[in-house]
Amino acid sequence: MRHDQPAVRGTVSRSIYDAQNTETLPGILVRAEGAADTGDVSVSEAYDGLGSTFALFWEVFGRDSINDHSASLNATVHYGTLYDNAFWDGQRMVFGDGDGEIFDGFTRSLSVIGHELAHGVTEYTAGLIYQGQSGALNEHVSDVFGALVEQYTLGQHAAEASWLIGEGIFTDEVEGNALRSLKEPGTAYDDDVLGKDPQPDHLDGYVETLDDNGGVHLNSGIPNRAFWSVADTLGGFAWEQAGMIWYDTLTGGLLPPRSDFSRFAAATVESSITRFGADSPEHHAVLAGWALVGINVAR
């Protein structure tokens, strides 16, 4: 992280770099905090998306950037040639432009930007190991906060939201809406080239695989649906109750780095009791959400 951090808590500091279609990081600085729009759509989307993500964590959760100590937020756009991905590398967010056939630019989706930056928050808090169930939870947490960034920015209630991650990054040639759906895992796309969205929505469908660090992007669908259920049951703005419980869980010291689904679920139940009480609708919604996906937590 850069060390030229702002002195005042809650003040965002963004830097956007251009890799100029190379894979050399960070690239050339093209827009610093407060600088004028460059006219490059990817730069603008990254800059705005970093700001929206910062706003959610600061204004809702009182978290001052990813490390809670005013860390600068850095991103690189135009990474690689026809690069079909976006990722958090431990220091910055990195965005490809897509191949133009399946994917358009990855900065187009605010939920993707929020997702990637949330990996940094997880790194500084629970440190969930990126393998197996703890890795799926790492992905899940990023999907949750990616969805919440989008909803908070748009002012959407849980019932209004799409609950999609990556909406808008597919080209018109693809039969699909997004990369993943928290509401209905396994339904985000069904395409001749990509195939059908393989995410399970219940523990019974858990995918045992050596690929993808033990299926971290697949099995995240299970806790994703649990979170959606909690938010949907409680209604209103998802960040006010369900999101607060998940944030407390992530940051409250309840999770060892190799937490499995059951440990994570139990921690959210504990967090719901601590914040809202054992007889609260929030507590009962959390229990029901996990039961929906086959994970039963002792009351």
Q: Is 119 a catalytic residue?
A: no
Other Cβ atoms less than 10 A from the Cβ of 20: the count is 13
Q: Which of 78, 115, 217, 283 is catalytic?
A: 217
Q: For residues 70 and 12, give the distance between their C-alpha atoms in angstroms, rounded to a whole number.
A: 7
Other Cβ atoms less than 10 A from the Cβ of 109: the count is 25
Q: What are the DSSP E strand ranges found in 122-187?
A: 164-165, 180-181
Q: Which of 116, 139, 167, 282 is catalytic?
A: 116
SS3 32: strand
Q: Which helix (H) or strand (E) holds 76?
A: strand 73-77
Residue type, 233: T
Residue 7 neighbours by CB under 8 Å, 6+ apart: 70
Q: Is 139 a catalytic residue?
A: no
Q: How far is CA 56 from the centre of its chain?
A: 12
Residues annotated as catalytic are 116, 217
